Structure 1
Amino acid sequence: MDHLMPGITARRVPTARVTTHVLEAGEPDGTPVVFVHGNVSSALFWQPSMLALPAGYRAVAPDLRGFGSTDRAPVDATRGLRDFSDDLGALLDALGLPAAHLVGWSMGGGVVLQHLLDAPGRVASLTLVNPVSPFGFGGTKGPHGELCAPDGAGSGGGAGNPDFVARLAAGDTGDDSPLSPRRVLLAQYVKEGCVPEPLEAMVHSMLTTATGDDHYPGTSAPSGNWPGFAPGDRGVLNAMAPTHFRITADDLAALDPKPPVLWVRGADDVIVSDTSMHDLAHLGSLGIVPGWPGEDACPPQPMVTQTRTVLDGYAKAGGRYTETVIEDSGHGPQLDRPEEFRAALLAHLAAAVAV
């Protein structure tokens, strides 16, 4: 396969749900660490992190359905992120891994959090890297994720930028527009000014995203609430809508066992933030999206605060979590600050293995 770094192998693994394309590195009998990518990307984004694991570990990175070279199975958004989570469980079964350390980035953070909720005994530890809020992306307010409107208006498939979607579908590798995949990667996935390697593999990875109603961005429904649309029931962005995906502190408090959690985030993330440039409410507050109904009705979603609130509840119920903030880093600290990310991850894994 093109775009593989030395030391990485690839194969397609049949499972009970989909045939999943998987990257692997390290020792076949080593302690398994499973890396789950985010939206509009694939396992290729994890290659440097996989190779950075020391001896004794086995790195596994699947492409989620509709990304990379995994089956283009449709996403049922009414299940939230469970299509992806269940696919992950089926892959662990197929690989004969009863338990693993899970690392999830962005949307992948929501996938592994959902998997923890559904199968806590299979999660040796959890690492969340700039994860989507446990209350979904868009359409909520306050630390406990109250819906701004009952229908989740402002979130889901209608929030996808049609020009960006069209450029993905066309395989655009250029840099002539701020909405080209390459420019989005360099300005938003990482801290602007950083050029992560292998860059061309990552641009290629973004272009493997399946587009359309069943994939990215998904369907949309009309709404009488600002900004005029609500989540649909199909596709990737709807799977993260707050009407479909929601994990509370009470949900995590009920888990047994409670594996240790590492939350790593870049201090300068513009995607998952309390002032996210992808949150229509925040853009409305800046006057970029017209008609914003105001702070009381639809304030910017406090995404980081919401994650901290849920993890604080986990800790109060007997769980353990560590928050690590990496300075001068964007949405992908594993890409723009790989040494700091590696240090945090390895310390977390070592502590979890020692327990």
Structure 2
Amino acid sequence: MTDFAGSMVDTPRLGQYVWTSGPADGTPLLLVHGNITTGGFWRYVAQRLPADVRVIAPDLRSFGRTEPKPVDATRGLRDMSDDVHDLLETLGLSGRGDVHAAGWSMGGGVLQQYLIDHPRDLASVTLMAPLSPYGFGGCRGADGQPCTPDWAGTGGGTAAPDFVRRLAERDGGSDDPISAPREVLLTFFGPGANRPNVDEDFLVSELLGTTVGDDHYPGDALSSEHWPNTGPGTRGVMNTMSGKYCDTSAFGDLRDGPPITWLRATADQVVSDRSMFDLATLGELGVVPGWPGADSMPPQPMETQLRSVLERYAGNGGRWREVVLDGVGHGIPLEVPDVVAAEIERTMADA
């Protein structure tokens, strides 16, 4: 079993808490976590990787123990992508072209942005249930056209208020399970059938390290005249993923980019063509009242959008493949860490 531990790394942009394993001279593998999680969530994947792989798994800003500097959402995911680049530069790894990378959920979106800004840094990319290239919510079609001019239904105002309150209070209990951070984690982001083999208390403690507020999670919000009457603000994590600011589809235009593997889980309730976190899906189901209908606000086809960009990527000389994980949920690195480790190895070997 490979040791996996964290420590602070001072970079010019901010102090980053970085989880690592493997030898300092090993093959570098950058692991980028998703929303309301940390680099620590990669521990089960790290334990299954070859001993000669150097794992680098930072806590992104607003999460875990990394210095909680504000998130400028008007830059999309660039604050986080720039932080990751800063880390690699500090470690002497940027510009070499031999860093492999894997990103989960929002972390997959961060890597898409990284590919655009630093296309020759990465030797291979593995995306696990990644954010759509057109952000989260509020858009339609394979090319991510906005449903409303102000991107209503996206951003900080879409987070569940009770969950945000309990997260701010560091309330890890399981009472009132609809809003309990522990239950939200286990239901939507957790290990599924692999639950007996993970340290649940560790995962919850990492989740509760999320910095809550307008500059962090979930971010600020603006009122909208369009259903559901909330639109993206300019600060904080959830707004970085609004299509108003987040468009990473340009990675599909890269020439001869690194090999990409996409891990798609068929039981994913977070990133899918009918996400249970997309207010349009919830409106269609009657959970959020007043839904104006599919003509005005259809559920976002997240997987369709990613596939369209990946096909364009292939047309420009990039290689990609899709791995379907039948019956697996959104918590891919926790539920099937052995599969994740094997697919990362395969992608690294394809580079």
Shift in CA distance, 52/193, structure 1 to aligned 2, threshold 3 Å? closer
2:66 equivalent to 1:70: yes
Change in Cα spacing, 1:77 to 1:22, as seen in structure 2 (3 Å) is same
Residue 247 (structure 1) aligned with residue 248 (structure 2): yes
| Contact kept? 2:112, 2:251, Cα under 8 Å | no
Deviation for aligned residue 1:180: 1.0
How far apart are 1:339 and its partner, in Å?
A: 2.1
SS at match of 1:300: coil
Q: State how far apart, in whole Å, the 2-side matches of 1:190 and 1:324 are.
A: 20
In the TM superposition, what whole-angstrom CA distance separates every residue of 1:34-89 from its partner, at most 9, and x where no partner exists?
10110101111001111211032101100001111101000000000000000000
* Identical aligned residues as a percent: 48
Structure 2 SS opposite 1:241 = coil
**Residue-by-residue CA offset, 1:129-148 (whole Å, 9 max, x unaligned):** 10111100010011111100
Between 237-246 and 319-328, the greater mean CA deviation after superposition: 319-328
Cα offset, 1:252, TM superposition: 2.3
Which position in structure 1 is the counterpart of 2:49? 53
**How many Å separate the matches in 2 of 1:246 and 1:267?**
24
Q: 1:6 to 1:313 in 2, by over 3 A?
A: closer
Query: Are the counterparts in 2 of residues 10 and 21 from structure 1 also a CA contact under 8 Å?
Result: yes
- What does residue range 175-190 of structure 1 map to in structure 2 within 5 Å? 175-176=174-175, 177-190=177-190
CA distance in 1: counterparts of 2:216 and 2:171, whole angstroms: 18
Read off the aligned partner of 2:50 and give its amino acid letter.
P
Please name the residue that 1:324 is paired with: 323
Deviation at 1:253, TM superposition (A): 4.0
The yes-or-no answer on 1:314 pairing with 2:313 is yes
What is the identity, as a one-letter code, of the residue corresponding to 1:219? D
Query: How big is the alpha-carbon RMSD for the aligned residues of Structure 1 and Structure 2?
Result: 1.4
State the alpha-carbon separation in 1 of the partners of residues 338 and 303 from structure 2: 23
The within-5 A match list for 1:139-154 is: 139-154=138-153
Mapped partners of 2:228, 2:178: distance in 1? 23
Q: 1:157 — aligned with what?
A: 156
Alignment check: 8 A CA contact 2:113 2:251 kept: no
Q: Report what 1:205 is aligned to.
A: 206
Q: Distance in 2 between matches of 1:286 and 1:302?
A: 16
Secondary structure at the aligned position of 1:121 is classed as coil
Could you tell me the TM-score, scaled by structure 1's length? Answer: 0.95
The separation in 2 between residues aligned to 1:253 and 1:213, in whole angstroms, is 32
Q: Which amino acid aligns with 1:28?
A: A
Unpaired runs of 5+ residues, structure 2, are none
* Consecutive unaligned residues in structure 1, runs of 5 or more: none
Matched, 1:36 2:58: no
Bigger CA drift: 174-183 or 15-24? 174-183
Secondary structure, aligned partner of 1:120: coil
Residue 198 of structure 1: how far off its partner (Å): 2.1
Match status 1:95 vs 2:91: yes
Separation (CA, whole Å) in 2 of partners of 1:29 and 1:257: 27
Alpha-carbon distance between aligned partners in 2 of 1:339 and 1:178, rounded to the nearest angstrom: 30
Contact 2:280 2:297 in 1 (8 A): yes
Corresponding position: 1:351 with 2:350: yes
Which residue does the alignment assign to 2:234? Answer: 233
Instruction: Name the SS for the 2:102 alignment partner.
Output: strand
Can you list the C-alpha shifts for 1:305-348, whole angstroms capped at 9, x where unaligned?
Answer: 11111111111111111110111210022211222222222111
Superposed CA deviations along residues 12-34 of structure 1, whole A, max 9, x for unmatched, are 11111011110110111011001
**1:346 partner letter:** E
CA deviations 1:276-297 (Å, max 9, x no partner) are: 1100001111111111111111
What corresponds to 2:9 in structure 1? 13
In structure 1, what residue type is equivalent to 2:78? R
Q: Deviations over 1:160-191 (max 9, x none)?
A: 11100111111112111222111111111136
Aligned-residue offset at 1:210: 0.4
What is aligned with 1:24? 20
User: Is the CA contact (8 Å cut-off) linking 1:26 and 1:51 kept in structure 2?
Assistant: no
Distance in 2 (CA, whole Å) between partners of 1:183 and 1:118 is 37
Aligned amino acid, residue 238 of structure 2: L
Partner of 2:268: 269
Counterpart in 2 of 1:219? 220
**Total equivalences in the alignment:** 346
Residues in 2 aligned to 1:257 and 1:86: alpha-carbon distance in whole angstroms: 23
Q: Check 1:167–1:342 CA distance in 2 against 1; reply closer, same or farther (3 A cut).
A: same
